[in-house]
Structure formats: C-alpha cells, structure tokens
Amino acid sequence: MYFPENLEELERIKTECMQLVQKRALLSGVAAAVPLPGVDISADITIMVELLTEINKRFGLSEEQLSQMDLERKKVLLVIISSVGNELAGRNISATVVRSLLKKVSSRLAAKQVSRLVPLMGQAVSAGISYAAMRYLGRNHVEQCYQIALRYMSNIDPRFTGDVIDI
C-alpha cells in the first residue's frame, strides 16, 4: 500500500497533480474545439475518469489502495474523507460518477453546447468553457486529496507537525 510518507513528498505529489490537471484541461479544451456534436462530452468524461483515477492513485486514495489498508487505518481515512466532503476518494471512478460530477457544472456545459451554434467564435467559447470546467473540477479534487492526506498523516503519526485540525 502506497501513501505519502512526509510533507515534502505530499507537496511534490500535489504539484505533479496540478500539472496533470493543467494538461488534461488543455486536452479537454482542444476536444471541445472539434466541431462534431457529442465529441467534447465523450472526451470530457474519458479525460475526467482517467484524471481523477490518477490523482487518487498518486495520493494513495484509490479504491484498490484503501482495500489494502488495515481496518483501523481505513476507518480513520474514511472519516477524514467524509469530513472533507470528497465523494471521489477511495472510489472506483466510472463514467457514471463523472457524469454526476459534471452535472455540478452543467450550466457551463449547457453554455458550451449553445455556443456551438455560432461558427468559429462558438467553438472558441466552447473550448474555453470546457478547459475551465475541467481545470476547476481537477484542481478542486487535488486540493481535497491533499487535505485528506495531510489530515491522515497527522492522525497516524503524532510527530507530524502539519497545519491540520484533529478530528
């Protein structure tokens, strides 16, 4: 079972994940610029499934990694995940899960679809909205995973001196 061992490693993982989010958001924006109906939504779902799965794995929060933990540590981690309000850590990330997540930014996605009606300018607006939505969702997940890992580290190692609140 992999889990970040110290604050320096955790910071490195956060930085790498933020860079990964940036790359995937750009890819989403490019897919949205393709003037074929439905291509952008399919691409967004695929990109987001892969992105969230990779972020979970890097922070030691994938479903598989949690299943390998002993029961007591797993309980602590699940309480922390719940307190942070993260619905994605420790879960299998599927297209269904991503669809429900994308509903949270549905107004942006609806605007993206409407903007397709305006040639060229609509594609640029659509690409920008897709990029922004992907970036927002990805960065938010990285921040939550970071907080989960930070709180978990402080709970399992009393010598840890991070700025976290005990639960």
Segment 96-155, tens digit of pLDDT: 877 777 666 655 555 555 555 555 556 666 677 778 878 888 999 999 999 999 998 888
| Cα 121 to Cα 75: distance, rounded to the nearest angstrom | 50
Whose tokens are 């030691």? That residue is: 60
| Cα 61 to Cα 76: distance, rounded to the nearest angstrom | 13
Model pLDDT for residues 51-109, shown as the tens digit of each residue: 999 999 999 998 898 888 888 888 888 889 888 878 778 777 888 877 777 666 655 55
Could you report how far apart the first and last alpha carbons of the chain are, in Å? 23
Q: Do 137 and 98 touch, CB atoms closer than 8 A?
A: no
pLDDT score recorded for residue 165: 42
More confident residue, 165 or 9: 9
For residue 77, CA distances in Å to 86, 88, 124, 134 come to 12, 13, 42, 26
pTM recorded for the entire structure? 0.77
Neighbours of 23 (CB within 10 A): 12
Surface-to-core class of residue 68, CB atoms within 10 Å of its CB (0-12 exposed, 13-18 middle, 19+ buried): exposed
DSSP secondary-structure letter at 26? Answer: H
